[in-house]
Amino acid sequence: MINPNQSFKVRRQSQLSYLQMQSLTQLYQPIIGGPALSLYLTLHSLPINDGLWTHSMLHAQILETLNTGINAVDASRIRLEGIGLLRTYQDTQSHSQSQLQQIIYDLQMPVDAAHFFDHPQLSNALFQAIGDQEYRLKVKSWQVDKMDSSRFKEITSSFTRVYNYLTVGENTGQEWKQEDQFLRHQDSDQHFKYDALDFDYGKFLELLMANQVDHQEFNQVLKDHVLTCYQLYGLNEATMAEVVLLSRHPIQHHIQIDRIKQIAKQRLPQTIKSSNSTNTSESTSHPPKDTDQVAKDYQQKYPQLSAEEIELVMLFDQVSNDAFLYNVKKQKKGFATDREYYYIKQLVEKSDLTPAVLNSLIYYLLVVLNRDNILKGELENVANHWSQMQIKDPGMALTLIQREEKVKQIKEKQQIKQSAPSKNFRRRSQHQEVIPAWMKQKGQESKQASPLQEPAGTLDEKTLQERIQKIMGKEGHPS
């Protein structure tokens, strides 16, 4: 809390340009508010005394200029600091009492529009402040139309063609700028200060590398987006790694930075639901419950499920969607296509079904219904049906599958009975075709020579269950 009788000085870099003023009023002001912007412009307009510094003044003088109270000025100062427009220092040697020590305000230049919309924290703050429609209009208003390359050909001269100053062995002037010095009009991109984080970024990178993500994509931009999503949504290292993997391009497999925040936001309801269902305040980064206890919980909740089915339900909980799809298709003597992986990723973004329930859905389509491939229409229809049925966990999903399969079998039996002809009609309509002896002999020889083999992909459900559970404990999933 600042004191009206506390002195301050301001350091500024330069005058604000027209584009910087537009950035302040159109992009920053909806976030920080009018009073904070007024304080920034007032501090920026104070007369310069020595180089970049203003005269020493009392905060009481600023209160008169702004016609406001000390609490409002202090709140505006904090908002400017939080968004990166102001850095505040306290001169500890100026006075013995801390409340009277001089304050140094170091004004920071606003970022340009391109950096603003690319910055994960700034863009998200503006989006939350003005809404999606207004945000879309803001982005469009700052866009610059490209020149029509089919009509216009660029003939601009290059720097090296016009200016021939740099030659080998000559003084380039770079030695006058030391690496630890800052220049006015420094890079407009700002690195925000993060609070003390318990997010293990090294562990997060290890999870990505284990999934064959190119290490060249591990840059500062990715780190800013990941840490921002962690602070906004409270997702742990494993969940954030899964979010980044889901954001990869389905064909080129590079990380799509602009999709990370969208997918992380959709992961938020699942994290909240899982924490509420366990009635615990533990962080999502804590280790999961003991598997024996999980099995007991499932058995108590779904007593109609057998021990083998409980193991299958726990498998749905433990394996990622991509790994489960890969292994199921492998057991069916096939392979998971890029299109199938893409369908699952799309469904993760669209629906509120948990990954474990999505594994149940994959199992239902490929094992229970014995489909050769996952089709988008059928996948979305079943997912929509399960969402309306409010399927929360794989145990509930497996129970629903069993119930609907029983109803389906009963209906099929009823249809067979209704379509079956009466005994008298069958007796009247029976007619024995006379088959020559040579044809009977040829048929028997062909059966003995080439006995039928079970085609690939038609294993019974129980056998396929056992093989899936067995291979999950032995093999990984190549990305």
Q: Is residue 140 part of a domain?
A: no
Q: 234 with 314, same domain?
A: no
- CATH number of 23's domain: 1.10.10
Last residue of a domain, one of 394, 415, 436: 415
Q: 409 with 300, same domain?
A: yes
Q: What is the dihedral of CA 14, 20, 22, 24, to 10 degrees?
A: -80
Q: Give the DSSP H/E element, type plus range, for residue 50.
A: strand 48-50
Last residue of a domain, one of 114, 129, 144: 129
Phi and psi, residue 210, nearest 5° = -65, -20
Q: 115 with 57, same domain?
A: yes
Q: 212 with 321, same domain?
A: no
The pLDDT assigned to 89 comes to: 92
Q: Is residue 28 part of a domain?
A: yes
Q: 344 with 244, same domain?
A: no
Q: Is residue 462 part of a domain?
A: no
Hey, is 103 helix, strand or coil? strand
Non-local (6+) Cβ contacts of 278 within 8 A are 289
The pLDDT assigned to 433 comes to: 56
Q: 394 with 339, same domain?
A: yes
Q: 227 with 329, same domain?
A: no
Q: 211 with 327, same domain?
A: no
Q: Is residue 279 part of a domain?
A: no
Q: 242 with 352, same domain?
A: no
The pLDDT assigned to 26 comes to: 92
Q: 36 with 121, same domain?
A: yes
Q: Burial, 126: exposed, middle or buried (Cβ in 10 Å; 0-12, 13-18, 19+)? A: buried
Q: Is residue 436 part of a domain?
A: no
Supply 177's token pair. Answer: 């700028």
Among candidates 104, 122, 256, 142, which has minimal Cα distance to 189? 122
pLDDT along the chain (479 residues), means of 10: 86 85 92 93 86 86 89 92 92 83 91 84 86 86 83 82 58 49 48 61 80 77 80 78 83 78 66 42 41 78 84 82 84 83 82 88 90 89 90 88 84 77 56 58 51 44 64 50
Q: Is residue 474 part of a domain?
A: no
Q: 246 with 346, same domain?
A: no
Residue with structure tokens 């606003």?
110
Q: Is residue 175 part of a domain?
A: no
Distances 68 to 4, 6, 65, 76, 100 between C-alpha atoms, Å: 12, 16, 8, 11, 21
The pLDDT assigned to 147 comes to: 82
**Overall number of domains in the chain:** 3
Q: What is the dihedral of CA 309, 311, 314, 320, to 10 degrees?
A: -100
The pLDDT assigned to 30 comes to: 94
- Under DSSP, the state recorded for 173 is S
Last residue of a domain, one of 108, 129, 150: 129
Q: Is residue 106 part of a domain?
A: yes
Q: Whole domain around residue 402: which residue ranges? A: 291-415
The pLDDT assigned to 288 comes to: 43
The pLDDT assigned to 274 comes to: 45
Q: 91 with 102: CB under 8 angstroms?
A: yes
Q: 317 with 238, same domain?
A: no
Q: 408 with 369: CB under 8 angstroms?
A: no
